[in-house]
Amino acid sequence: MVGYVAQQPLSELPELEADVPMLPHLKLATQDWGRMLWVGGAGTFTPLHRDPHHNLFSQLVGRKRVHLFPPACAAHLHLHAGGPLQNTSRIGSEEPFLQAQSDGAETELWDIEQALSHPDAKHVVLEPADVLFIPKKWLHCVAGLDDSASVNAWFH
């Protein structure tokens, strides 16, 4: 099991919040929904989901791999039909996205080829000091490749 501090509000850690300055881009936002801290070891995983707000994701330490899909791919990515997880996919690991680059076994199981081949689908590795903009409603999952720390900020 890999420990993961996920979605920890920086506002609850004022001594740490002071060390993580707000990106200048966020000062232009009409509403800041807060900044969250993510800290974990290699092997941590945030499942495929979509958020209702724009997101600036800043990689502080270590590397993370992010898979991004535009809203048009939602029908092919097995979102829960309703309830509190309706923004989250039933695909519970990164494997189907990685298998697409090798033998395709998991990809066939989940039938996600259309999403993976969409021209706007992106697969990136974030290094320390990288910042990724994730538009609202874009589906994304995040895998920790190293011991890592990240901060994200949701905003309008």
Residues 68 and 35: their CA atoms lie apart, in Å, by 20
Predicted pLDDT at 109 = 55
Residue keyed to tokens 């420990």 = 3
Cα-Cα-Cα-Cα dihedral sign, residues 81, 84, 87, 93? negative
How many domains, the chain? 1
Domain holding 48, by residue range, is 4-155
Of the listed ranges 9-23, 56-70, 123-137, the one predicted with least confidence: 9-23
Q: Which residue has the higher pLDDT, 37 or 81?
A: 37
What average pLDDT score do residues 92-121 get? 74
Q: Please tell me whether residue 81 adopts helix, strand or coil conformation.
A: coil
Whole-model pTM: value is: 0.85
Predicted pLDDT at 88 = 87
pLDDT above 70: percentage of residues in the chain:
85
Predicted pLDDT at 66 = 97
**Cβ within 8 Å of residue 71, ≥6 positions away:** 50, 137, 138, 139
What average pLDDT score do residues 106-135 get? 86
Structural tokens at position 64: 């993370």
Residues 136 and 155: their CA atoms lie apart, in Å, by 9
Confidence of residue 100 (pLDDT cuts 50, 70, 90): low
pLDDT for 20-31, tens place per residue? 777 666 666 555
Angle in degrees, CA 15, 18, 22, rounded to 5: 145
Cα-Cα-Cα-Cα dihedral sign, residues 116, 109, 102, 38? positive
What b/e sequence results for 56-72 when a residue is b if at least 16 CB atoms lie within 10 Å of its CB, and e otherwise?
bbbbbebbbbbbbbbee
CATH of the domain at 129: 2.60.120.650
